[in-house]
């Protein structure tokens, strides 16, 4: 072997070692395949929820502290809506600091911030009394109580806590309603991942939407528009197992 050939082989070895070291040191980022894995995990959860929801019933009437609630009845008035929020959040007999309810015609359907619950009037005629109960435990027992302890938690911790509180409605026999809301979050996240990573599935957005018709707390347009404006925001609402969330009344 000549010195030239030996030099050439040494250069190749050095290049190979450099490539190897570069690959080892590269920061770990979420690769496209991770999105695919996430998409399939959420899809599997959504499919299970759909099956469970199909085999469950929601009571037509329940009683909370002598108040009669009709979980399957649509809510058409702000008075009725606010009344159910207060009856439900007061049922846990926890000290709740004062909060305001403000009705709006713009922004999110329901949003809590600074001791105020902002509710879009589009929810009237769309949400049932059972859905309003979910909102009460999510927004008041979840967000309101946690944010009166600290406001510095990241979004996934805030939403995780609020969704943990949604499990309270099972005590009133509303497991089907609770699962419907989790399914809705799955559908939003599936559509979000499809929008930002088209190759996660061969299904179209419409096909994903049509597969889960019990998850209609939002319109498809609302989900798509919000997802385009705030990529991956819907994945903050996805949990595959029970967790403990800091400063959370429901943990
Ligand atoms: Zn929330």
Cα separation, 246 vs 251, whole angstroms: 8
Give distance in angstroms: CA of 179 to centre of ligand 1.
Answer: 16
69, 192 in Cβ contact below 8 A?
no
Nearest to 166 by CA among 197, 124, 137, 145: 137
For ligand 1, an ion, list residues with CB under 5 A: 159, 162
Give distance in angstroms: CA of 112 to centre of ligand 1.
Answer: 7
pLDDT tens per residue across span 183-235:
999 999 999 999 999 999 999 999 999 999 988 899 999 999 999 999 999 99
Give distance in angstroms: CA of 166 to centre of ligand 1.
Answer: 10
Give distance in angstroms: CA of 195 to centre of ligand 1.
Answer: 22
pTM for the model: 0.84
Name the residue ranges covered by the structural domains of the chain.
32-237
pLDDT tens per residue across span 86-137:
999 999 989 999 999 999 999 889 999 999 999 999 999 999 999 999 999 9
185, 234 in Cβ contact below 8 A?
yes
Cα separation, 229 vs 195, whole angstroms: 11
Give distance in angstroms: CA of 143 to centre of ligand 1.
Answer: 7
Which string of b and e fits 10-29 if b means at least 16 CB within 10 Å?
A: eeeeeeeeeeeeeeeeeeee
Which string of b and e fits 122-156 if b means at least 16 CB within 10 Å?
A: ebbebbbbbbbbbbbbbbbbbbbbbbeeeeebeee
Give distance in angstroms: CA of 89 to centre of ligand 1.
Answer: 15
């Amino acid at each position: 072997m000549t010195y030239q050939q030996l030099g050439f082989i040494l250069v190749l070895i050095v290049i190979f070692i450099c490539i190897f070291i570069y690959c080892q040191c590269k920061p770990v980022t979420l690769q496209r395949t991770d999105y695919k894995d996430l998409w399939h995990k959420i899809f599997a959860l959504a499919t299970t929820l759909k099956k469970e929801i199909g085999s469950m019933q929601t009571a037509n009437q329940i009683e909370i502290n002598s108040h009669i609630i009709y979980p399957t009845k649509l809510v058409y008035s702000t008075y009725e809506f606010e009344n159910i929020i207060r009856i439900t959040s007061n049922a846990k007999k926890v000290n709740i600091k004062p909060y305001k309810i403000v009705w709006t015609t713009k922004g999110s359907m329901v949003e809590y911030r600074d001791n105020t619950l902002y509710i879009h009037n589009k929810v009237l005629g769309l949400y049932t009394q059972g859905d309003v109960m979910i909102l009460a435990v999510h927004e008041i027992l979840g967000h309101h109580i946690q944010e009166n302890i600290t406001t510095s938690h990241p979004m996934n911790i805030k939403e995780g806590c609020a969704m943990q509180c949604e499990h309270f409605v099972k005590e009133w026999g509303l497991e089907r309603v609770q699962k419907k809301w989790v399914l809705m979050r799955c559908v939003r996240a599936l559509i979000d991942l499809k929008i930002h990573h088209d190759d996660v599935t061969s299904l179209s957005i419409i096909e994903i939407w049509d597969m889960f018709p019990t998850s209609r707390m939002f319109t498809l347009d609302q989900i798509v528009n919000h997802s385009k404006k705030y990529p991956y925001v819907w994945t903050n609402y996805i949990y595959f197992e029970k967790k403990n969330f800091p400063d959370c009344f429901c943990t």
